[in-house]
Amino acid sequence: MPYVDFGEKVNFNSSQFLKLKSKGDSIKFRILGRPFIDGKHFSKTPEGEWDIKACPRINEHGKCGLCDQFFSIIMKAKKTGDKTLIEQSKKEAEPFKSTVSVYYPIINRATEEFGVFQTTMGIREEIEAEAALGTKVLESDFTVMRTEVPGKYYRFSKVDSAETSPLTEKELAQVEKFKTIKLDEIVSGTADDDSNVAIEANTEVVEDYAAEI
Phi-psi map region of 187: left, alpha, beta (phi>0 left; psi -120 to 50 alpha) = beta
Q: Phi then psi for 197, rounded to 5 degrees? A: -65, 130
- Helices 83-93 and 65-80: angle between axes, nearest 10 degrees: 170
What whole-number distance in Å separates Cα of residue 135 and Cα of residue 84? Answer: 44
What whole-number distance in Å separates Cα of residue 70 and Cα of residue 55? Answer: 13
| Residue whose C-alpha is closest to residue 118's, from 8, 11, 7, 29 | 29
Cβ–Cβ under 8 Å, residues 27 and 108: yes
- Is 40 in a helix, a strand, or coil? strand
Q: What is the pLDDT of residue 206?
A: 40
Cβ–Cβ under 8 Å, residues 116 and 17: yes
Position 123 confidence tier, pLDDT thresholds 50, 70, 90:
very high
Distances (CA, A) of 152 to 7, 32, 147, 156, 190: 38, 25, 7, 10, 26
pLDDT digits 0-9 by tens, 38-97: 889 988 888 888 888 999 988 888 899 999 999 999 999 999 999 999 999 989 998 998
Question: At a CB cut-off of 8 Å and minimum separation 6, what does 59 contact?
Answer: 37, 38, 39, 188, 189, 190
pLDDT digits 0-9 by tens, 89-114: 989 998 998 888 899 999 999 999 99
Mean pLDDT, residues 182-208 taken together: 55
pTM attached to this predicted model: 0.76
Strands (E), 12-151: 17-18, 26-31, 36-44, 50-54, 98-108, 113-119, 141-149
